[in-house]
Amino acid sequence: MILTLTTEVTDKQIEEIENIAREFGFIPEVSRGESRIVVLVKGENAILSRDKFEALKAVESITPISDPFKLVSKKWMKKTVIKVGDMEIGGKKIVYMAGPCSVENNGSTEETASAIKSIGGPGFFRGGAFKPRTSPYAFQGMGEEGLKILKDISVRTGMKIVTEAMDPRQVEIVEKYADIIQIGARNMQNFELLKECGKAKIPVLLKRGFSNTIKEFLMSAEYIASEGNKNVILCERGIRTFSDYVRFTLDISAIPVLKTLTHLPVMVDPSHPAGRREYVGALALAAVAAGADGLIIEVHTNPERASSDGAQTITPEAYAELIRKADAVAQAVGRGA
């Protein structure tokens, strides 16, 4: 339940409310908004104990949260803006994250990074060092060596790094080298991984599983937030339907739906649903028009030679063209670029 406090509330009264909540086995979360302070009281059937709070002078009103997700619900917080360096995710401007599917050790990753940097300002650089591949015989990623390449790129270009952890044991090392931990679609319900990322000190980019509902997606975000890490970025990346000409169906409707349900930023990956590079641009523009807070796109200087996902990877030149158009769409829908 959400306790909306009076405008005159004192710190001492807030402390008392927190203590009462804990006394009854609930977890209080205080949010200091621009005009009001609210306390989210978490716990199974917390609303049944509303009488414990109703009589308090500092409590103006009590609202139950019927959603199974609480911390990430929009009912108690309007908007989360995540700061990484001097950039904001979920703010007025849309953000771009770009880079190869996998980090490679032949110089191409550094080359791609330089090209992206010259196109899109500082921004974010993506690339997988631990790769979730359908086949055990496919390239599995470079591991820590790949993370070091990413770190070098970050130091040299100033770009912030987004890279995947596939297992709870990889979270610590990813945190050491990267700025944002990606959780891939196949791991959206790897609850031990979610909990470990919930203890991390850097933001998490959580991709929607391709067979998962919006509710399941938000419950996974709730897992991360409930361990303490509130900096979760949601990423729609396509779901399984019966489409046979694209790899996945980009669920554009997920963007406005998520925006009404949660205060978390919502990004879109147009590369994985497209499956083919000629469709990436259209999906990216549709996502920005629908209200996405940013795009994460696979880019490589030589897509044909990429170690993974080459067919859906665009060149830096195509990326430059894409962000030019996406910036124009962003302006048209009232977002800065």
**Footprint of Mn ion on 273-312 (CB under 5 A):** 309
Token pair of 83, please? Answer: 């700061």
Classified as helix, coil or strand, 152 is: helix
Per CB under 5 A, 101 contacts Mn ion: yes
DSSP structural state of residue 134: S
Site string for ligand PEP, 100-119 (x = CB under 6 A): -x------------------
Per CB under 6 A, 161 contacts ligand PEP: no
Task: Choose between 29 and 269: whose C-beta lies nearer to ligand PEP.
Answer: 269
Give min distance, CB of 185 to ligand PEP, in A: 4
- Determine the interface stretch with ligand PEP among 114-122, 181-189, 224-232, 239-247 (rule: CB under 6 A): 181-189
Taking each helix axis from N to C terminus, what angle separates 108-120 and 316-332, rounded to the nearest 10 degrees? 30
Run of H or E residues at 162? strand 160-164
- Determine the interface stretch with Mn ion among 45-53, 98-106, 187-195, 237-245 (rule: CB under 5 A): 98-106
**Footprint of ligand PEP on 226-285 (CB under 6 A):** 237, 269, 272
Residues sharing a CB contact under 8 Å with residue 238, sequence separation 6 or more, in sequence order = 210, 246, 247, 248, 249, 250, 251, 269, 272, 273
CA–CA gap between residue 246 and residue 327 (Å, rounded): 25
Per CB under 6 A, 127 contacts ligand PEP: no
Give min distance, CB of 50 to ligand PEP, in A: 41
Run of H or E residues at 257? helix 254-261
Task: Choose between 175 and 269: whose C-beta lies nearer to ligand PEP.
Answer: 269
Q: From the CB of residue 136, how many other CB atoms can be counted at a distance below 10 Å?
A: 6
Residue 184's binding partner, choosing from ligand PEP, Mn ion, none, with beta-carbon cut-off 5 to 8 A by kind? ligand PEP
DSSP structural state of residue 128: B
Binding site for ligand PEP (CB under 6 A): 101, 128, 132, 184-186, 207, 237, 269, 272
